[in-house]
């Protein structure tokens, strides 16, 4: 850090206070998270004593990079995964090998400096690259339960449905009434004109809760005069019970039950089995909408469903937490009809996250790999239940493979992106609070899994040809600007 001695970043304090505020409001970097990824230049105790003006003591550093981690490789790396042998398209098979090689560059090993001086870093030191554990799980099952119980005890509330039955549902709710450290200036400026301190603090809670959801941000969390239209000032994350979070917890309760059975703890096996059944009932009785033929997020304050399309609506199809709504075949058929009626299956580049053109990154026209994966696998897993499920699953997998493959081929250097635009094949997504990110772990992983499932049928282009007509750079640039212009002019 010797080359950064005079930089503001070397004096970062992680606790809230004058220094953190000044550094974030100084606009020294394009990304507010930069400060949080740097070590403190001095101890926290000494930093508490520093109150002089930032601009008088420090100068901007230009383009700077965090140094608390190093690139690393995983302990076990298969240079040629077996499933790629079954990929029939030579272009996709070669692409699969290239994606596999990316893991060597996306791996991280945390710097030893973090272990030696932990008080200077926001990162938690781990001595080895993280790998997925194999057959042994006794030593980790209690940690899994602890994480699960956090959501049960710290993020759950009771709600009453239209029939007067009480359900326990989970929600995102971070009760810290300060700006996000990673987006301090953005949050501070957003709340600046609110008239009361209580209103500002509640907005900070909503912003943090939206970040906790991973959907930062989306019209999904906006409640404004019984609509999902508004600005980030209209976020009401803490008044919403999300379909996907509750569906995931239902699935995890079932998994914990299975784990405890294998571990021989039959009392906990029964406890989590009963809990999974209870959550399954809640998915049917609170979240399922018989008219629309899908599940919807639930407005706790208004005590009603939020009947807007978000791809998260069909999460229970993937988690397999359904069946109490009626026959499973009828439920799957209704979900397929719902997707068709929303016309979300018609886009060339995948299924949009929502139909709302808000300029936020978790809205139209963006498509995200985890959501595509959930939709594709949800339908794939229902292939024995409904005759049309597998063909739709393959169709969506084909679109996603083709758009990510084309985006990879057209980027220089070759890259996978965190999100894509459903309107133009291969076009990276846009919107939100930061530039589109390269890499990208979940996009790579989903692509490889789809090659594993459907590699014997997938092709890089129609008819087996790899000659797509690439979108022009004008299309790329103009579509990347649309969300920004919309947000600037409308919000």
Selection from 254, 253, 243, 250 nearest residue 289 by Cα: 243
226 is catalytic: no
Opening angle at CA 33, ends 28 and 37, nearest 5: 100
Catalytic pick among 182, 269, 292, 418: 418
297 is catalytic: no
The residues, any chain, with a CB within 8 Å of residue 376's CB and separated by 6 or more, are 393, 396, 397, 400, 450
Q: Name the DSSP letter for residue 287.
A: I
First-to-final CA distance of the chain: 40
Side-chain-side CA neighbours of 435 within 13 Å: the count stands at: 6
How far is residue 26's CA from residue 148's CA, in Å, rounded to a whole number?
39
Looking up tokens 């996250």 gives 353
Q: CB of 57 within 8 A of CB of 426? A: no
The residues, any chain, with a CB within 8 Å of residue 148's CB and separated by 6 or more, are 249, 252, 253, 256
Selection from 27, 22, 14 nearest residue 51 by Cα: 22
Catalytic pick among 23, 206, 216, 297: 216
Q: CB of 455 within 8 A of CB of 391? A: no
DSSP string, 298-345: EETTTTEEE---BGGGGHHHHHT---TTS-HHHHHHHHHHHHHHTTTT
Class of residue 458 by CB neighbours under 10 A (exposed 0-12, middle 13-18, buried 19+):
buried
Looking up tokens 């409308």 gives 490
How far is residue 49's CA from residue 276's CA, in Å, rounded to a whole number?
51
The residues, any chain, with a CB within 8 Å of residue 342's CB and separated by 6 or more, are 309, 355
How far is residue 411's CA from residue 389's CA, in Å, rounded to a whole number?
33
Catalytic residues, which ones? 216, 418
């Amino acid at each position: 850090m010797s080359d950064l001695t005079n930089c503001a970043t070397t004096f970062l304090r992680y606790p809230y206070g004058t220094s953190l505020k000044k550094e974030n409001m100084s606009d020294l970097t394009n990304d507010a998270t930069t400060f949080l990824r740097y070590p403190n230049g001095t101890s926290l105790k000494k930093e508490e004593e520093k109150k002089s003006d930032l601009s008088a003591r420090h100068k901007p550093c230009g383009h700077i990079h965090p140094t608390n981690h190093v690139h690393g490789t995983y302990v076990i790396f298969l240079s040629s995964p077996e499933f790629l042998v079954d990929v029939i398209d030579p272009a996709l098979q070669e692409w699969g090998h290239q994606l596999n090689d990316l893991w060597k560059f996306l791996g991280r090993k945390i710097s030893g400096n973090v272990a030696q001086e932990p008080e200077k870093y926001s990162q938690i030191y781990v001595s080895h690259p993280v790998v997925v554990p194999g057959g042994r799980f006794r030593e980790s099952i209690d940690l899994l339960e602890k994480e699960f119980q956090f959501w049960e005890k710290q993020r759950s509330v009771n709600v009453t449905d239209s029939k007067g039955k009480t359900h326990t549902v989970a929600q995102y709710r971070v009760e810290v009434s300060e700006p996000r450290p990673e987006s301090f200036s953005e949050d501070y400026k957003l709340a600046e004109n609110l008239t009361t301190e209580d209103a500002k603090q509640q907005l900070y809670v909503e912003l943090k809760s939206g970040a906790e959801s991973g959907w930062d941000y989306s019209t999904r969390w906006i409640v404004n005069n019984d609509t999902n239209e508004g600005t980030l000032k209209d976020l009401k994350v803490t008044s919403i019970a999300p379909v996907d979070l509750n569906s995931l917890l239902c699935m995890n309760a079932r998994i914990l039950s299975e784990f405890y059975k294998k571990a021989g703890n039959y009392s906990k096996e029964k406890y989590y089995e009963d809990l999974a059944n209870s959550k399954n009932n809640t998915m049917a009785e609170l979240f399922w909408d018989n008219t629309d033929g899908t599940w919807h997020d639930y407005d706790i304050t208004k005590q009603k469903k939020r009947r807007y399309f978000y791809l998260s609506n069909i999460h229970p199809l993937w988690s397999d937490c359904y069946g109490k709504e009626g026959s499973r075949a009828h439920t799957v058929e209704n979900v397929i009809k719902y997707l068709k009626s929303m016309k979300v299956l018609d886009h060339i580049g995948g299924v949009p996250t929502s139909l709302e053109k808000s300029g936020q990154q978790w809205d139209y026209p963006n498509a995200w790999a985890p959501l595509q994966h959930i939709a594709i696998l949800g339908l794939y897993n229902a292939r024995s239940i409904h005759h049309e499920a597998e063909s739709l699953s393959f169709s969506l997998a084909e679109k996603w493979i083709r758009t990510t493959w084309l985006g990879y081929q057209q980027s220089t250097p070759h890259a996978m992106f965190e999100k894509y635009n459903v309107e133009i094949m291969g076009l990276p997504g846009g919107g939100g609070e930061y530039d589109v990110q390269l890499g990208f772990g979940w996009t790579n992983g989903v692509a490889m899994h789809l090659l594993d499932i459907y590699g014997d049928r997938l092709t890089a282009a129609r008819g087996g040809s790899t000659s797509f007509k690439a979108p022009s750079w004008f299309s790329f640039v103009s579509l990347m600007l649309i969300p920004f212009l919309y947000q600037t002019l409308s919000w």
